[in-house]
Amino acid sequence: MSDTQRIEELRDAIRRHDRLYYVEASPEISDRQYDALMDELKRLEDKHPELVTEDSPTQRVGGEPVEGFETVDHAVAMLSIDNTYNVDEVRTFDQRVRNELGSNGFDYLVDPKIDGVAVSLRYESGRLAIGATRGNGRQGDDITANVRAVASVPLRLTGDDVPDVVEARGEMYWPRGSFAAFNAKRAEQGEQTFANPRNGTAGTLKQLDPRIVAQRGLAFIAHGFGDISERIADRASAIMDTFRRWGLPTSADASVCEDVDAVMDAIDAWARRRSEADYETDGMVVKVDELDLRDELGATSKHPRWCIAYKYEAERAETHLREVSYQVGRLGTITPVAHFDEVHLSGTKVTNASLHNFDQVERLDVRLGDAIAIEKAGEIIPQVVQVNHAKRPKNAKRITPPETCPACGGPARRDPGGVYLRCIDPECPAQLRERLKFFAGRNQMDIDHLGEKIVDQLVDRGLVEHFADLYQLTVEDVKQLDRMADKSARNLVDAIRSSKDRGLARVLAGLGIRYVGNRAAEIIADHYGDMDALLDAGREDLEQLDEIGPVIAESLHQFLHSKRGRGTIRRLKNVDVDMTSHRAASDGDGPLAGKTVVVTGSLDGYSRKEAEDAIEAVGGRVTSSVSSNTDFVVVGAKPGSKVDKAERLGVERIDEDEFRKRLSTG
């Protein structure tokens, strides 16, 4: 094969892989293989400079910075889109469109509104000729050199049906991941960071040196079109499909909706998913899909009349950091909390937000007095997401980690290798308070009426120094608390008492042992059946359980065998807190309902799994260790030490025949 042929072959291959990567998001080769193709092409082009063309994939980034940007006229005006924050106005828009068209027989193309910079890409004879900003809508800046440097912009459209002129319009944006990495690196180097991806994109496209643009990792998504020299389809959605086929990235999150109700659903659905996208979006654009109907509707001087943008309420707000306080969690974690001038986010007032840890404080480089941006992550928890360092006041004060626990004055230590600062005093009242609140929580002991304010008072008045103290509170004790009437005191005491029967899993979860959450607690309680059996378990036994790794096993084992852990368990037992696992048994129905059974040795008629399934099928519970709560032990051939333990505890032992009988008769 001649070099000329090979060069063409390589260019086609690279374009195809660009398309697979940027448009289809399904690459077929590794980055390394891609680089090898590119290297080979570069070598051949170096050998034959006369064969280098402008649209060769090697020619994305020109050699020299440009002096400035020329002005270009848009062949078709880039009008801005009318927008609203009010969903009712989307319905009003729909009503108006239907009135004007006198018809319901059309669809809407609905597309997330990417928060980037609008650009127009003009292809002539399939080759990228001009990239331009929107500017004033009639004229924009010629940023061709910069858009060429954006990897997802095809330099050439592929397909034998590409018309002479194709203008794709869309959004240049900075993917969240690479934006965050870029900003972090800038901050590390003491350079100014960008406030958000949109500002970053705008700043990048204004660079005179396209090599800088190439390094930043911007991306492009087409969502519309300007001048196209042939009519290639009747619907905008079909044009977008065609664009994809030619190698232009389009939104994977666009949808065609048959009426305004479907549009509303799409708006709702995206509101829930938009935080997961790799680009920031601030709304949804709703466009009539049929092109001849668009012509019929026309435009005002500013906006097309066939299109509206619904914008999600701004979730980011700027404010000033006034103070940082510290919260001590139930595990002693000391968390810095930012207090700032009130802002409104998604309809709620926000005055504080967690700063998470001191690494985060450093990462944000935040100081008292700084201008900060607050966002609601997952629509719920406000976060300090950014600091506007350009606006830093001269007297901005550094935030230094406390050396002692702000609650008890005890020593505060940083976790070895971790990012958290921790109060290591187990008697810390702040920790006790948080532990009690957690213990009483819905997913743990689920104690009604035992709210935060009551816990605070119980601790402050010295009425409760330990979980077990809760169970010894009398109505008289509780009546001392603020605004506690006779009846509510009685209700609280009753609620606490009735939580005694929650069972082992809830107790384990409620103790707040590090890494032992509800799921782990359930698995462990189910397996061991009661606290005594659990206390007999070795660390290795715990590790063997499904979903329980060495970290959980270690933490739990350490707690159970620590002085504090043993004391806690003893005290809870003394006040009759149930520490058996009765979940499955109480749910069960059948001959073995409520029975706890252990199987040891091998049976002739059942595998171990079959035996366990058979027991559970008739309402019984299977545990691995024998304890005083075991009802009977099924003993097969070559039984282990469990038989001895059963004998010692006086637990009934039965053979396989008897087992078979009990499965049907109990």
The least distance separating Zn ion from the CB of residue 208, rounded to whole angstroms, comes to 56
Cβ atoms of residues 643 and 637 within 8 Å: no
Q: Print the binding letters for residues 199-228 with Zn ion: x by CB under 5 A, - otherwise.
A: ------------------------------
3-state SS, 541-608, equals: HHHHCCCCCHHHHHHHHHHHCCHHHHHHHHHHHHCCCCCECCHHHHHCCCCCCCCEEEEECECCCCCH
Name the residue among 577, 615, 610, 579 with its Cα closest to residue 596: 615
Nearer residue to Zn ion within complex by CB, 405 or 454: 405
Position 334 contacts Zn ion (CB under 5 A) = no
324: burial class by Cβ within 10 Å (0-12, 13-18, 19+)? buried
Residues 6+ apart with CB under 8 A from 209: 65, 66
Q: Does 154 bind Zn ion (CB under 5 A)?
A: no
Whose Cβ is closer to Zn ion: residue 263's or residue 428's? 428
By beta-carbon proximity to Zn ion, the closer residue of 433 and 642 is 433
Q: How far apart are CA 626 and CA 648, in angstroms?
A: 10
| Interface with Zn ion (CB under 5 A), residue from 236, 408, 520, 531 | 408
The residue range among 54-62, 116-124, 417-425, 576-584 that interacts with Zn ion, by the rule CB under 5 A, is 417-425
Which span sits near Zn ion by CB under 5 A: 26-34, 59-67, 416-424, 459-467? 416-424
C-alpha–C-alpha distance, residues 15 and 156, integer Å: 8
Residues linked to residue 423 through DSSP beta bridges, in sequence order: 412
- In the complex, the smallest distance separating the C-beta of residue 558 from Zn ion, rounded to whole angstroms, is 20
Stretch that binds Zn ion, among 192-200, 424-432, 452-460, 652-660 (CB under 5 A): 424-432
Q: Which stretch binds Zn ion (CB under 5 A): 68-76, 369-377, 422-430, 456-464?
A: 422-430
Parallel, antiparallel, or unpaired for β 621-622 and 421-423?
Answer: unpaired
Q: Is 661 a catalytic residue?
A: no
**To the nearest whole angstrom, how small is the minimum distance from the Cβ of residue 430 to Zn ion?**
5
Contacts 24+ apart (CB under 8 A), 380-386: 381/353, 381/354, 382/345, 382/350, 382/352, 382/353, 383/353, 383/354, 384/321, 384/338, 384/353, 384/355, 385/316, 386/193, 386/195, 386/196
Q: Is 123 helix (H, G, I), strand (E, B) or coil?
A: strand
Read off the tokens for 262: 């479907």
Q: At what angle do helices 550-560 and 563-574 cross, to 10 degrees?
A: 70
**Nearer Cβ to Zn ion, position 84 or 333?**
333
Please, which residue, 72 or 405, has the CB nearer to Zn ion? 405
Q: How many residues in the shown chain lie near Zn ion by CB under 5 A?
A: 7
C-beta closer to Zn ion: residue 333 or 354: 333
Residue 422 CB, nearest approach to Zn ion (Å): 9
- How many whole angstroms separate alpha carbon 454 and alpha carbon 470? 12
Task: Compare residues 118 and 428 and give the one whose CB is closer to Zn ion.
Answer: 428
494-523 mask for Zn ion (x: CB under 5 A)?
------------------------------
**Long-range contacts of residues 426-431, Cβ cutoff 8 Å, at least 24 apart:** 426/564, 428/328, 428/332, 429/459, 430/327, 430/328, 430/405, 430/406, 431/328, 431/329, 431/330, 431/331, 431/332, 431/407
Q: Are 172 and 162 in contact (CB under 8 A)?
A: no
**Smallest separation (angstroms) from Zn ion to the CB of 423:** 3
Question: Coil, strand or helix: which one is 188?
Answer: helix
User: Which residues, in sequence order, are CB contacts of 78 under 8 Å at separation 6+?
Assistant: 118, 120, 134, 135, 137, 140, 169, 226
Point out the catalytic residue in the list 47, 113, 479, 642. Answer: 113
Tell me how far, at minimum, the Cβ of 337 lies from Zn ion, in Å: 16
328 vs 372, which CB is nearer to Zn ion?
328
Q: Shortest gap between Cβ of 332 and Zn ion (angstroms)? A: 6
Q: Does 410 bind Zn ion (CB under 5 A)?
A: yes
Residue closer to Zn ion by CB (options 428, 534) is 428
655 and 602 Cβ atoms separated by less than 8 Å: no
Query: Which of 293, 423, 458, 651 touches Zn ion (CB under 5 A)?
Result: 423
CB of 390 to Zn ion, least distance (A): 38
* C-alpha torsion sign, points 272, 275, 277, 279: positive
Instruction: At 604, list the tokens.
Output: 């002739």
Alpha helices, H only, 441-538: 452-460, 467-470, 475-479, 486-498, 504-510, 518-528, 531-536
Q: Which is nearer to Zn ion, 149 or 408 (CB)?
A: 408
* Residues 428-487 within binding reach of Zn ion (CB under 5 A): 428
For residue 160, give every residue at least 6 positions away whose Cβ sits within 8 Å of its Cβ, in sequence order, or none.
none
Tokens representing residue 269 in the block: 């659905």
Residues 6+ apart with CB under 8 A from 500: 471, 575, 576, 577, 578
Taking the complex as a whole, the smallest distance from the CB of residue 514 to Zn ion amounts, in Å, to 16
Tell me, residue by residue from 350 to 389, as one string, x for binding to Zn ion by CB under 5 A and - for no binding.
----------------------------------------
Show contacts with Zn ion in window 386-405 (CB under 5 A).
Answer: 405
Residue 407 binds Zn ion (CB under 5 A): yes
Work out how close the CB of 78 gets to Zn ion at its nearest, in angstroms, rounded to a whole number. Answer: 60
- Burial of 455 (C-beta count, 10 Å sphere; 0-12/13-18/19+): buried
Between 384 and 428, name the residue whose CB sits nearer to Zn ion.
428
Q: How far is the CB of 472 from Zn ion (least distance, A)?
A: 25
Considering the rule CB under 5 A, would residue 421 count as an interface residue with Zn ion?
Answer: no
- Residues forming the site for Zn ion (CB under 5 A): 405, 407-408, 410, 423, 425, 428
Residues assigned a catalytic role: 113
